[in-house]
Amino acid sequence: MCGIVAYLGHKDAQPILVEGLKRLEYRGYDSAGIALLSSSGFRVHKTTGRMNGLEQSLPVDNCDEILGIGHTRWATHGKPTEANAHPHMDFSGKISIVHNGIIENYSTLKKWLQSKGYEFSSETDSEVVANLIGYFFNTENEFDNTTCQSENKFEWSVQQALSELVGTYGLAIMCSDYPDMLIGAKKGSPLILGVGENEFVIASDASAIVEHTTRAIYLSDNEMVTIKGNNFHTKTIDNIQITKTLKDIEFSLEAIELDTYEHYMQKEIAEQPTAIETCLKGRVDIANTRVVLGGLQDQLRDLARTKRIILTGCGTAWHAGLVGEFLFEQIARIPAEVEYASEFRYRNPIIEDGTIVIAISQSGETADTLAAIEHAKERGATVLGMVNVVGSTIARTTDAGVYLRVGPEIGVASTKAFTAQVAVLTMLAIELGRRRHLSYDLSAELLTGLSQLPDKIASVLKQQEHIKQIAKANIDKENWLFLGRGVNYPVALEGALKLKEISYIHAEGLPAAEMKHGPIALITNNMPAVFIATKSSQYNKVIGNIEEVRARGGRTIVIATEGDENIKQYADHLITVPDVTEQLQPIVTVIPLQMLAYHAAVLRGHDVDKPRNLAKSVTVE
């Protein structure tokens, strides 16, 4: 869960690395560092804390190195200290690496290297990689005697070291004996090579590349790239040459700029009308009462005949899956269940013939979800992906899938990706239902309702100031409840997650009916309880749950349908959303909860885009 960037070209590397790390800082921000290499050797700078601290520590003159690597860290092994910050050097001082991932057998390798006289200066698993490469590089004769030579000893040493590693890695590596060469390698952690005019950028994701080039190569597991001068070649780590295809990066530099917004989360909440419109465009065919999902067209017949769907994801994606479970069962009448990707492969799941697994991830790089995909495929399931990032590992690993098409999401707390995930699941449920039993009238009603959602979301966003005042009135309370029923229960979970992620207020999401089976004991005087009480099949039941909280002194914040006069008597604070069909409600009811969390965090003085202990793309288990 770290960000890495590396540069080899004809420009000063330092400012390029700094700018790249700023764009990657959402992947980790407890320490940062760069290493630059010239014919005179390495120049290394590392600091704890945010990127601005590193930037301020760097010299501004006489920086003429054209090769360098950089890293922004989310700690896994070892506390955030300067010693544990990347880049790491090997014991000889000839090898420098940056690493994203986890080396599972690092302890064994470290003991073995120590027995050979190697010393370590950090607590990290990553330093083992540097020293292991250094061991092979500094060992006499082995390279000359090998029967499967690489083009040079540096590349060979990297290959030998990688063959000993168990775990995941995205790596950028330099060697002082080869000041015109840069190596990248990937297994389980994302790595992209941007190819410009006589310059190359290696990075964890395209946001650090797009300023320099729109052409990129996406490395697959067990692949490496070696760049020398103006050329590069790709091969497997066991030295088999491979040819990779250059692909266009499908977003612009402007898409990842803040523009007039204070925070990326604020921007991404505001972008949701446009994002959902783009997500639906060309897919919702109202004239013919059907949905066109190009990436799934070849699978739709089998999907419509499937007996069971498993949805898997983590965090916000898991919440979207819960909405999907409701939609598949109610609209398509297909049994569905939702699994935490982090638990899926460890509990010996039952996967029968005809089971469809849908993996949901914004980044397309979530390590737990990738592991679930591999487990499902081993057991014979057809696995579909639902991701936002084009060319991501999940997009390339699954049998087929759908892109969200909402543009880059930089804020750690996911917003527009969630609404798009729900929109795609809704489209798929409608199309499967149409192919099975769903009436023409209901299909048409749902598709028309979907097409109207961008305008409905825009109307909710106009309540910004009102929601800010509600947040202001309640941010002194350290415990909140979020409650909903039916398709809005997952929205309650998502609202609670957003609040605790960025404001650090303890919040718990529950099915409203479950409150009295234990959690009602938590209700204290003026404790905020957020209810989703829109007009639905369970509206009266939710009113009863609100009454239970009010009877015990709780303070009610109610999300209700516009024009509902009855609900006002039950709400201490009222937020209204447009009237939409029950199955489509999550896409509008979640919007005020996103805004509520955002304003609570800002008012409490927290960094909304970089909440403590969190990173955007969870690429380690």
For this structure, is 616 an active site residue? yes
The pLDDT, as a whole number, for residue 527 is: 94
The pLDDT, as a whole number, for residue 479 is: 95
Kindly report the CATH number that applies to the domain delimited by 463-621: 3.40.50.10490
Answer whether 246's CB lies under 8 Å from 219's CB.
no
Q: In what order do the strands lie in the sheet with 528-532?
A: 506-511, 479-484, 528-532, 555-561, 573-577
The pLDDT, as a whole number, for residue 249 is: 86
Per-residue CA distances from 139 to 84, 179, 432, 495, 498 (Å): 26, 20, 61, 56, 52
Its CATH architecture, for the domain 258-461, is 3-Layer(aba) Sandwich (3.40)
Give the other-Cβ count within 10 Å of 550's Cβ.
Answer: 17
- Please report the beta strands in 49-168, taking only residues with DSSP state E, as ranges in sequence order: 67-73, 88-89, 95-100
The pLDDT, as a whole number, for residue 149 is: 57
User: Is the domain defined by 3-249 classed in CATH 3.60.20.10?
Assistant: yes
DSSP assignments along 352-370, one per residue? -TTEEEEEEESSS--HHHH
Answer whether 203's CB lies under 8 Å from 37's CB.
no
Sequence-separated (6 or more) residues with CB below 8 Å from residue 545: 483, 485, 512, 513, 515, 516, 531
| DSSP classification of residue 219 | P
| DSSP classification of residue 453 | H
Low-confidence residues in the chain, pLDDT < 70: 1, 62, 141-150, 616-621
Q: C-alpha dihedral over 551, 554, 557, 560, to 10 degrees?
A: -20
Phi, psi of 606 (to 5 degrees): -95, 160
Closest by Cα among 175, 82, 194 to 133: 175
DSSP assignments along 1-67, one per residue? --EEEEEESSS-HHHHHHHHHHHHGGG--SEEEEEEEETTEEEEEEEES-HHHHHHHS--SS----E
The pLDDT, as a whole number, for residue 175 is: 97
**Residue from 2, 175, 279, 314 carrying the catalytic annotation:** 2
- Cis previous bond, 335, omega within 30: no
Domain residue ranges in the chain: 3-249, 258-461, 463-621
**Residue from 22, 94, 498, 616 carrying the catalytic annotation:** 616
Answer whether 108's CB lies under 8 Å from 125's CB.
no
pLDDT tens track for 187-211: 988 999 999 999 999 999 888 899 8
Closest by Cα among 511, 503, 498 to 601: 503
The pLDDT, as a whole number, for residue 76 is: 77
Q: Do domains 258-461 and 463-621 have the same CATH topology?
A: yes
Per-residue CA distances from 229 to 233, 337, 354 (Å): 11, 52, 51
For this structure, is 63 an active site residue? no
